[in-house]
Amino acid sequence: MAKITAAITAVGKYVPDYILTNQELETMVETNDEWITSRTGIKERRILKEEGEGTSYLAIKAAEDLITRNNINPKEIDLVIVATATPDMLVASTAVYTATKIGAVNAFAYDLQAACSSFLYGMSTASSYIESGRYKKVLLIGADKMSSIIDYTDRATCIIFGDGAGAALFEPNEEGLGFQDEYLRSDGIGREFLKIDAGGSILPTSEDTIKNRQHYVHQEGRTVFKFAVSNMADVSEKILERNNLTKETVNWLVPHQANKRIIEATANRIGLAEEKVMMNIHRYGNTTSATLPLLLADYEKELKKGDNLIFAAFGGGFTWGAIYLKWAYNK
């Protein structure tokens, strides 16, 4: 019997309608379009404005896009994983609510949190379930309502992040396509440099934590930048070497969209031509867990069966890694 690999067989996406431009940010904090564009590559990001809606709203819409465009019967889905750093609420799982809302009534569901690497790690989890033969349809959704944890008076963070969601369906493949290899890393040294101080078990919410604005993302950008540049490039190089891939045989780099300069540094290290690098950071900013599946959805029509894709991400924690996957279909 042929070895079962885990292939992505469908993708979907959702971004909210509201566009927060660099020009609008200029009216909110001391910044300018030229600085944001040259330092990050971001021109605009989407913001979920619907009152009382959280990350599940984005996740549900991305999943529904995948389901309707590909005629998937949600009752056949075995497992729904929502990769997110901004769950709807503490304790009650965002994935469970999402699964129920999309009609995945026979699935079980849970959230996976690894900051900006959540979707990358989720790809490893989803693929393992498929490769083991345990499940046949695993829906992995990357979704984040970053606007819910961003301080819009802090110019160091508010210019970077946006809201969005993307989804990918993993199914068994007997042609050797899909997931090939992974190199995943983490290092707790990163905790001090990218975090939300309060609202967790170390520092529960109190009047003081609210007064001190400790429920927002705090990032030491320059330090995170340095780690991101070297680590994302390292793992990408490593996964190429390990799989005897070259800049000629790699078809696409699918990099986490945190900063255009980090993406370019990774591409340069492996010598990849610009046209092989997926990029949509100018339109959405950093959507955390949603960047990788949003890229897949935006580039889906250009992808060919058998293409070699290298996914790479770096995020809070620190968490980072690279995954090598062969694309499994033509659209």
How far is Cα 197 from Cα 318, in angstroms, rounded to an integer?
A: 15
Quote the CA–CA distance of 75 and 77 in Å, as a whole number: 6
Q: Which residue is nearest to ligand UT7 (CB)?
A: 221
Residue 286 binds ligand UT7 (CB under 6 A): yes
Cis peptide before 108 (omega within 30 of 0): no
Question: String of b and e for 217-233 (b: at least 16 CB within 10 Å)?
Answer: bbbebeebbebbbebbb
Beta bridge partners of 164: 144
Binding mask 242-281 for ligand UT7 (x = CB under 6 A): ----------------xx--x-------------------
286 catalytically annotated: yes
Q: Strand 319-326 vs strand 178-186: parallel, antiparallel, or unpaired?
A: antiparallel
Q: Which of 231, 256, 259, 308 is catalytic?
A: 256
> Does 116 participate in catalysis according to the annotation?
yes
The reply on whether position 43 binds ligand UT7 by CB under 6 A is no
Among 168, 224, 239, 325, contact with ligand UT7 (rule: CB under 6 A): 224
The answer to whether residues 244 and 227 touch, using CB atoms and an 8 Å cutoff, is: no
Q: Which of 139, 228, 270, 278 binds ligand UT7 (CB under 6 A)?
A: 228
CA–CA gap between residue 250 and residue 312 (Å, rounded): 13
Minimum distance of ligand UT7 from residue 230's CB (angstroms): 12
For ligand UT7, the binding residue among 225, 252, 311, 320 (CB under 6 A) is 225
Residues lying near ligand UT7 in the complex (CB under 6 A): 31, 35, 39-40, 116, 155-156, 159-160, 221-222, 224-225, 228, 258-259, 262, 286, 314-315
Catalogue the active-site residues.
116, 256, 286
